[in-house]
Amino acid sequence: MRPSREALRGPALPDPSPTRVEALVDLARSGDGEAFGALYDHYVAAIHRYLYYRVSDQVVAEDLTSETFFRALRSIESFQWQGKDFGAWLTTIARNLVTDHFKSSRSRREVVSDALPERAHPGPGPEAGALAALTSQRLVTALRQLGPEQQDCLVMRFLQGLSIAETARAMGRTEGAVKQLQLRAIRGLAKRLPEDLR
């Protein structure tokens, strides 16, 4: 029996000049576990950073990071967005987990911490100066006082590094709405900082 041309061709090839991430997403979508592993490598730090700054707890951040990627794995074969929006999709999953976390009884009993994250490499570094540390501490405190959507916007834009378009995707809003939210959030942050730091 002559093998069909399709059978011999191998995996379907995507559109012209996809980026590496888009290529990985296509591979993962069609069942390639190694490709999913490579996507994990690419996105895990940013997702963890978003989660940490939203829930302020290392243990919870790790739990939610893990849950984010397992959920992504389970639903990747039905991922319909373009490959380039994969990061925004992961963030959507993470964001929903944050919402659920704050709704749960567990989080209501927790005191939301204003503590800065533990440094990955303890010891003197660029932020070691006392003034810088103080600024960071106050910044985090002020951030915590903002509403969830404003926190989301600032953390996604400036700690996770998402673009306006990606943030809009992740939050289910228009780009104009995200720009407006960004403005309000920064103004809100400034208002909550001591006079000398604004």
Q: Report which of 68, 94, 102 is spatially closest to residue 160, judged by C-alpha positions.
A: 94
Give min distance, CB of 85 to other proteins, in A. Answer: 17
Q: What is the CA radius of gyration of the chain?
A: 20
Nearer to other proteins, 8 or 108 (CB): 8
Give min distance, CB of 177 to other proteins, in A. Answer: 10
Nearer to other proteins, 2 or 108 (CB): 2
Instruction: Determine whether 28 is exposed, middle or buried from the number of CB atoms within 10 Å of its CB (0-12, 13-18, 19+).
Output: buried
Give min distance, CB of 135 to other proteins, in A. Answer: 7
Count of H-run helices and E-run strands, the chain? 10, 0
Q: Report which of 196, 94, 192 is spatially closest to residue 143, judged by C-alpha positions.
A: 192
Nearer to other proteins, 85 or 146 (CB): 146
Nearer to other proteins, 34 or 100 (CB): 34
Give min distance, CB of 131 to other proteins, in A. Answer: 12
